[in-house]
Structure 1
């Protein structure tokens, strides 16, 4: 009885192992993400009384309706460099008493500088580097 039970277990085990099929999934090598670099000059900040903030508008022609509807937009700011390489921090960001935020629409990104309390902050007195990452995605209805 034990031998036949052991034999049956061995047969089931061999059948289970031989019926497994290894499937390899190759990721799509098409990278549709885009990174755009811009510089905001120190004198480019404009006071927007309605928003209670200084703002700078950046032209980003690559930012189209597809990115706005289905993708993601990440924005980073750099005030300087370490070992000649820019150091980027993701917006929203508070730096030296200024709170940075942004919005985007087709073709542009608008960056705001205000105090954490909602008043216009002194805009940066130096040029700042901006990195905008456009991440493409497809809409899913599921």
Structure 2
């Protein structure tokens, strides 16, 4: 029996948390002041995005689920949503594995999934989950608490 892979277990748990939150929003809408800033890799496997958005955001993009979004569909691998870019509604599909940060500034909660490898071109980036303490500012700044300090 090998070692317990806490990094991957934490990764799966945090992706599951995002899925649960989004499933609740898909069914009930956003409660109170909750809203989400979701940053994701636009080149990750499974991302579906209009060509003009990929050209504008060639590596990563942040979307906001707050005032206007439509047809939020959540499945096992990711979520689809229609967002308004200017006056142009666009359908996106974002796999959970493409997510780099998930922040809800209304309650100062955030997650950041960090690449361990320094080679950004590696499609099979290992991800390191970090918890973020978020201050509510227009700029959404986060103090990141690394899980590395809890590892041997």
Whether these two folds match at TM > 0.5 is no
Q: Which one has a bigger Cα radius of gyration?
A: 1
- More helix by proportion, 1 or 2? 2
Higher RCO (CA < 8 A, seq sep 6+): 1
TM-score (norm 2): 0.25
TM-score (norm 1): 0.26
